[in-house]
Structure formats: structure tokens, C-alpha cells
Structure 1
Amino acid sequence: MAIDQFQKFDTIIVPGALDIETVLAKQGLVEWLEHAAPRARRNASVCAGAFLLAEAGLLDGRRAVTHWAMCDLFGSKYPTIDVDADAIFVRADPVWTSRCQRRDRSRFGAGAG
């Protein structure tokens, strides 16, 4: 999808995915973010969507969070990002990231996550 050079966005929200590596392989998505993000008042991710923001270079030098089970991978893959694994969300204007809330396994069972 082409972006008009004058098109503006209020907020771009990037959702997560269980198989984030497959999503990251779709370079068109990362390229779109690279071009669209500067035209947005704010950019945000939910859960593993932070990986896409990182690939687009939007989190370099910023504090961020991602899915609780992917924080170690996120930190090793993107060493210029300050991963705050304890945060529920991080606001590092103009970028916001959030994690999926870890469920209490004793309450929801071993498959909860």
C-alpha cells in the first residue's frame, strides 16, 4: 500500500502475533511502518507488535516492552532497546508499547499464557 506524501495519521497501532518471525519476514509491513510512522502523532504496539516497531527502527534508544514470554528474545535481537520486562506498558513518546498480561496459571490452568 502506497502512502501519499501528505497523508497524516493520528495513531498507528501494531498488533502482535504468535508467530512473530513469520510476520517479520513480510518486509512490506516493516517498510510501510518506516514510511508511515513519521506521519503519525503516535505509534503503538500491543504485545509482540513491538518486534515490528523495532524492525522499523522506531524503538532504537527507547525503553519498551513486549509479550512477557518474548522479552529475552526481544532484548537479544534488539540490543539498542531498553527492555522493561516488568512494565505493563511503556510510553516513550511518540511510541507506546504494551505487553500481554501474564495470566495466573494456578487460576487458569497450565495452558494459560
Structure 2
Amino acid sequence: MLHDPAQLDLMFQALADPARRQMVDRLSRGPASVSQLAEPLAMSLSAVVQHLNLLEASGLVRTQKVGRVRTCQIEPQALRSAEHWINERRLSWERRLDRLGDFLAQTKDES
């Protein structure tokens, strides 16, 4: 799990960009080369590499270069960490809203 707030910030920053989310979506179906990731995007290979560098720094993606081909794949644990963080916030708010609902119901019954 992610316990480092700076790493979590970097992950959400990486996911804030539509092109990077599209790359993550593509990689969730399996590994791909940089060229394969660039194909559906309207950007140069160097721009795709810059996006990949941020995805890699965030921990969402791992790359490996074999010869001239750089292959990318998703890091599922990083996505699970983000999901865990979001679920913790969701549960906290659900408990608060449940308490508010109980309070309002009690107040209504008393009036």
C-alpha cells in the first residue's frame, strides 16, 4: 500500500492527464511497446516517452528496454494502492453521512 503522500500525489497527477489515462487503460489489457501506445494518440514518440516517464515515476507503469524496443506494462499493485486510498475516504464519508442521517431522523422524531 502507498503510505507516502508524495508518491500518492504523483500517482494522481499522472492519472490527471487524459493521454496518460488512455495509456494506462491500454496497458491494463497487456504489455505494449512505446510505438503501440503512441499509435492511437495524436502525439510524437518523444511526447509519449515523457508521459511514460511520469507514469513510471508514479509507480503505475514499469518499462523494460530490450534492444531498440521499450516495452511497458502496468503495475497492478500501484492501482490497488490508489483504490485502497479512495475506498478509505469513501468509507469515512459513508460513516459521516450515516451519522448525519441518524441525527436528522432522531431530530424529526423529536419534533
Q: TM-score, normalised by structure 2?
A: 0.26
* Structure that is richer in helix per residue: 2
- The structure with the larger Rg is 2
* Structure that is richer in strand per residue: 1
Relative contact order (alpha carbons < 8 A, sep ≥ 6): 1 or 2 greater? 2
